[in-house]
Each structure stands twice: as C-alpha cells, then as structure tokens.
Amino acid sequence: GGGNKSIMDKISSQFKGFDDTSRFVWEGTDEECERESERENEQEKEEENEYERMSAYCEVEWDYLSIFSSESTSQLSCDIRDISSIMHQHMSNKSVAQIDWSRKVFCTLNFMRTVQFSMELDNFLRVPDSFIWFPNGELLLLSEQESNKVLLLFQNDQSSRFKVGHYFGH
C-alpha cells in the first residue's frame, strides 16, 4: 500500500550514493508480493467453482456372479476401464495425470461415471471404497451400489467361492 511505499522511499534515499541494486530489490519484492496476491486470488476462484446442476448417472446392471468364474477383470461381463488410462486421458490436473498408475487396477464403468454428460471426470470422482481382488492380482474398484450386491454374493456361499482366490475388500 501507500504506507509501505513511503517507508521504502525513505530507505532508498539513504542508499542514493550506492548503486541501483536497492531499488531493484524493492521492485523485485513488490513484484513477488503482487504475484503471490494473484496466486491467492486464482486459488480462491478455483475453490469457489460452482457446477451446474447435473443428473446422476444411472448404473448399468451386470452379471455379478461372473466375478467367480473369472480369473481376471477382462473376463467379466461388464464394461471395465483401467485406472491408468482414465487418469492420463481425463484428469485436468497434469501432476496427477502423470503419475505412473498401476496397470493392474481397474474400475467398472459404474464406478467411473457419477454424473451424465461430464467431460471433466476429476470434478466428480468417487472415493474408492470397495474392490474385488482377482486370482491374477488385478484389482477392480466397485461403485457403492455394485459393492452392496457383490458383498451379498460373497456372504451367501463363502466356502466354494473363496477357493478360487477372489477377495472382497471394503
């Protein structure tokens, strides 16, 4: 503000006999404060983002029992996506997108889609809550609705299904 400027003018007048470095430092500090203020304003604007009203995505039912006859996620009777591709293609935050995501982590389309017609997935991401571990070491993330249905299948006949090496995690 103006008070800081007059103080800096008094200080710089003390250095008139020296070179111009004191003035350069003041200008550099002033520019740095201005950049910091701009960053704070941008961050506040990002936090204030309001999204238009969206319709919830209607989940697609699939044959959950196919889990127990599948050695890997590719054998399932549902649409699955690998997390690595999703992160690289659909994340606006490039730092997150560039992480070397595991090639053994997948999710159902129901897990991935939370709202209809959304181009930016990272604005509407789910928190991973439930998964299936397959015999080949692959992990499948489930939506909450899928999780509720799959958990019932695991509870109904644990003895025969656990022999194949499928595990439910929550």
Domains: count for the chain: 2
Are 139 and 107 in contact by the 8 Å Cβ rule? The answer is: no
Q: Name the helix (H) or strand (E) containing 105.
A: strand 105-108
If asked whether residues 22 and 78 sit together in one domain, one would say no
Low-confidence ranges of the chain (pLDDT < 50): 24, 115-116
If asked whether residues 96 and 140 sit together in one domain, one would say yes
If asked whether residues 93 and 144 sit together in one domain, one would say yes
If asked whether residues 27 and 85 sit together in one domain, one would say no
Which pLDDT does position 122 carry in this prediction?
61
Displacement of CA 108 from its chain's centroid (Å): 16
If asked whether residues 40 and 68 sit together in one domain, one would say no
If asked whether residues 110 and 72 sit together in one domain, one would say yes
Which pLDDT does position 24 carry in this prediction?
47
If asked whether residues 38 and 68 sit together in one domain, one would say no
Alpha-carbon Rg for the chain in angstroms: 27
Q: Find the domain containing 10 and state its range.
A: 2-47
Which pLDDT does position 124 carry in this prediction?
60
If asked whether residues 161 and 89 sit together in one domain, one would say yes
Largest CA distance in the chain: 90
* pLDDT 10s digits, 95-141: 877 888 899 999 998 888 764 455 555 666 667 889 999 999 999 99
DSSP-assigned letters across all residues of 84-135: HHHHHHH-S-HHHHTS---TTEEEEHHHH--BTT-S-GGGSPPPP-EEEE-T
If asked whether residues 22 and 85 sit together in one domain, one would say no
If asked whether residues 22 and 72 sit together in one domain, one would say no
DSSP state of 80: E
Helix (H, G, I), strand (E, B) or coil at 81: strand
In a domain, 56, yes or no: no
Cα separations in angstroms, 25 against 13, 17, 20: 14, 16, 9
If asked whether residues 74 and 153 sit together in one domain, one would say yes
